[in-house]
Each structure stands twice: as structure tokens, then as C-alpha cells.
Amino acid sequence: MDIRQLRYFVTVAEEANFTRAAARLHLAQPGLSAQIRQLEKELGHPLLDRSGRSVTLTEVGEAVLPYARAAIAAVAAVRQTVDEFTGLLRGHVTIGFVSGAAAHEFDLASVLADFHDDHPQVEITLTEDTSERMLAALRRGELDIAVIGLAHEEPPPGISFQVVIDEPLVVAVAPDDPALTPAGRTTIALAELRDRPLISLPRGTGLRTVLDRACARAGFQPRIAFEAAAPLFLTQLAARGLGVAVVPALQTDVASTFGLRTLHITHPRLRGRIALAWRTESSASPAAKAFLRLLRATLTVPGTDQPSVP
């Protein structure tokens, strides 16, 4: 057997599905199945029960799983120790990026390119997802770092935050919208949105969670007419009269290009926050630590508050 087969076995056990495991490993499913069968043949006993709708561990598989994980961790530790002594930075860093953050002035492409130029032997994988799913992936060790929208004041156990954006939430409305009466109005109470069709980021994003919780505390459920992952598209939908878009304040200039007006939400005032998130434990690879240091130093937006949550 080799460490690659053990990693394949652990991944299938965690996903309980060969298709999902193959996608996670970036392999073809037949090749993954063949490697697992070869491992089982060498050990002389099935490790996985494939008879049900999901793949489960056999009794032997249950016993083998912790040793397989320990072997994978030991090999990674050997490589990390050698790298630290030689000063060589290599490996694989996975970073997740919430869609809404792309609308801000983050030049993530330049950060990635600069890091790659300095450390060409480090492979970087960038994925885009909702904040909730990325936090779960961080806790499982599938992501090293994530840029997420925050819905909580404090990070969950085992996760650290550094807030890089902290801004008010606003509604973007058409110039003839009744919410703009009287003329010159700049704010709108949250309760006034009770019966309005709203356009918002999807469930699982930090901004959407902030909105849903605030509405629940105000005694109503928001009437979400449209959902989209990108704030720019939200303003485009609002410009066509399909509803009132709830967006970060930094979208004010974008909204104006579509002929929209923005009102700050009050009673309560809502804020949208974006943060870097990473696992608190110190077992991250040297490459992940180096990339995190670079992101913490560069992933900021001028003119915004940037409090740090240790």
C-alpha cells in the first residue's frame, strides 16, 4: 500500500460517496474505485460496504480509519519538518472566497500572482462558496483560509477572524420608489421593508444571515423576491423594478450608475462585515501560514474600519 491509497480511502470514508470523493480528489471515479479495490486486495478484507445508497465502513474499515489518518498526518509532518529546516516553501494552499467580496476593492488576483512568483512550488486552489459552507470546510480542514461574510460577533470554536470590511447595509431603490418620499430622504427603518419584495444575497451568506436575523427580531419574515450571489447583479435587478436590493454601502456608486438611490437601514442599523478566517490551531502548513501572513497584510480596503478578532 502507499500513502496515496490511504488518502483515497479516508476521503471516501468522509464523503460516504465515491462520486463526491473523486471530485474532491480531482480524480476520475473509476480510477479511485480501482485504487480502493487494490488496497482492499492487499489487506485481504473489504474496508467499505458499497451495498447501500451511501458507502459505509466495514468493521475492519472502522478499525483501519484512525491509523490511515495518523499515517497521512505523519507523512505531512515529515515533509513540513524538512521544509522548515531547508527554508523551502512548497505544498498546497486552499482558499475560499465569498462571492460578495469580489465586488470590493480586493485585488486578490495580484496577491495570488505575487505569492506564486515568490513561491512557485506552492500550488494554490481558489474556490467560491457561501460563508456557512466555507466555515464548515475550514473546520474539516478542507480549506486553509477563507474570505467570508460574517454573521456573528465572535468566531466559532477553533476559528480566528480578521475583519477587513465593516460597513453599513443599504437598500437600493428606483428613483420613483415610494420609499424616497419625502424628497431628500436618506434612511429607511427596517420595519418599512416588511411587505416589500427584497433582492438579497442567498442563504448561507453573512449579509443574508444579518438581514434574516434582524427581520426576525423585528417580528417579520423578509419577503425575498430574488437571490443572487453578486451584489452587482442585485442592483441590476432593482434597476429593472423587480424589488428593493439590500447591498453593502460600498455598492452606492455602483447603484447610482443604474439610476438607483440608496437609503441607510435604521432601527436597527445593519452592518455587513467581511473577514479573513482560518483555523486557530497551529498545525497549518508553512505555505498556508506564509500565505495567510500576506493576506492579512494586504487584503484591506482603504477608508474602512479594520478591527481584528484574535
Query: DSSP E strands: which ranges in the chain?
Result: 48-49, 56-57, 91-98, 122-129, 145-150, 159-173, 187-189, 198-200, 224-227, 244-248, 261-266, 271-279, 308-309
CATH 3.40.190.290 occupies which residues in the chain? 165-272
**Are the beta carbons of 187 and 281 closer than 8 angstroms?**
no
Beta-carbon contacts of 217 under 8 Å, excluding residues fewer than 6 positions away, are 268
Q: How many residues does this entry show for the chain?
A: 310
The answer to whether residues 310 and 160 touch, using CB atoms and an 8 Å cutoff, is yes
Q: What pLDDT is attached to residue 250? A: 63
| The three three-digit cell numbers of residue 147, written as one number | 474570505
pLDDT at 289: 87
pLDDT value of residue 50: 92
Decide: pTM greater than 0.85.
no
With cell 421593508, the residue in question is: 193
> How high is the pLDDT of residue 88?
55
Residue range 91-163+273-309, CATH number: 3.40.190.10
Give the whole-angstrom CA distance, residue 224 versus residue 201.
10
Q: Mean pLDDT, the chain, as a whole number?
A: 85
**Interval 16-53: pLDDT, tens:** 999 999 998 988 999 999 999 999 999 999 999 999 88
Q: Tens of pLDDT along 226-257?
A: 998 887 888 899 988 899 999 888 666 777 78
Instruction: Please list, in sequence order, all residues whose beta carbon lies within 8 angstroms of the beta carbon of residue 18, skipping any fewer than 6 positions away.
Output: 12, 29, 32, 33, 55
| Domain 165-272 CATH (choose: 2.40.110.10, 3.10.20.30, 3.40.190.290, 3.30.365.10) | 3.40.190.290
Q: What is the CATH number that goes with domain 3-86?
A: 1.10.10.10
- Give CA–CA dist 153/308, Å, rounded: 11
What's the mean pLDDT in 140-150? 90
- Summarised one tens digit per residue, pLDDT across range 78-96 is 877 776 655 556 778 999 9
Q: How far apart are CA 296 and CA 117, in angstroms?
A: 18
